Amino acid sequence: MADWTTAVDDGLTARLTQCTLCGDGRLVLWGVCGTLHLALAYVLCHRCKESGGVGRVEVLFAQRYEAGT
């Protein structure tokens, strides 16, 4: 089971300063995407949030981090 402590702390303390998908600095949403072994924080700008960004982040993280599991 993934430990979500660091990922949630990253979101709550605003350590992430650019949109995970496009790099914009005007952030409106943060969240945590978790797998069995890993929990990752992400942040999204308004444009990416409104264009289905949460689903895109989940796909991106799955491609990037679940390939080796």
With b for 16 or more beta-carbon neighbours within 10 A and e for fewer, the 29-46 pattern comes to bbbebbeeeebbbbbbbe
Token pair, residue 63, equals 């491609």
| Structural domain boundaries in the chain | 5-65
pLDDT reported for residue 4:
75
pLDDT digit string, tens, across residues 18-59: 999 999 989 898 888 887 678 888 999 999 999 999 999 999
pLDDT category at 68 given cuts 50, 70, 90 is low
The torsion angle over the Cα atoms of residues 2, 6, 10 and 11, rounded to 10 degrees, is: 50
Looking at residue 43, its pLDDT comes to 92
pLDDT of residue 23: 94
